[in-house]
A and B are shown apart, each in its own frame.
Chain A
């Protein structure tokens, strides 16, 4: 079974440009999460999808970040325009379950992708 995949693995862009990160979750996983790790800081939650709906986007830094999950499969995270402080590693994770319905779903493990390293110059 394929794990969570992310594309690209690395991206180097200039300040003001646009970048789109993609995450393909494990097939059948309803929950999809984005996290970010800025160098020297802890990993921070960005947002959580349940299928195609945003369940929690409390961690999104500002309106330059736009996440989508059309059709409830893969997700994209677009940064437009990118700023220097957006540099970091962006992780995607997915887990089984039916969202907030059902205790079993709540405890399901989050499986992580290898991350996309974004460098903004």
Chain B
């Protein structure tokens, strides 16, 4: 069965510091991978997605993620964090012809001024 692991439940970084949020998936074939963000009071917003091709994908708000098949990972990165990035981040996978998303537990990001 497909599954997603986000090992870090909560992360705190200083504004301007770099960020990497980890995501590992379990799936036999090539997965379709997503990162979503939920800011307080808002719905889940798609940051970026990977279907095929270039393993480094660019998203909105200056985020990028790299698909590494050998490590079954799809880590999210940002070179310099802004206070407005404080939110909860979710990694998700969609497999095969099934449209439903399988989610990780989420990582809550706090940003210190």
Q: Which residues of A does B touch, CB under 8 Å?
A: 3-4, 31, 33, 35, 41-45, 48, 55-56, 58-59, 91, 93, 100, 106-107, 109-115
Contact = CB atoms under 8 A, between A and B. Distances in A.
Nearest to A3: B43
Contacts of A106: 97, 99
Contact of B46 (A3, A4, A41, A109): A109
A67 B42 CA distance: 23
A9 to B, nearest CB: 9
B43 A42 contact: no
B43 A114 contact: yes
Contacts, number: 52
29 contacts: A3-B43, A4-B43, A31-B99, A33-B99, A35-B101, A35-B103, A42-B4, A42-B106, A43-B90, A43-B92, A43-B106, A45-B100, A45-B101, A45-B102, A48-B99, A48-B100, A55-B99, A56-B98, A91-B44, A93-B44, A100-B97, A106-B99, A109-B46, A110-B101, A112-B36, A112-B45, A113-B43, A114-B41, A114-B43
Interface string B33-51: 0001000011111100101
A56 B103 contact: no
B31 interface: no
Contact of B100 (A4, A41, A42, A56): A56
Contacts of B106: 42-43
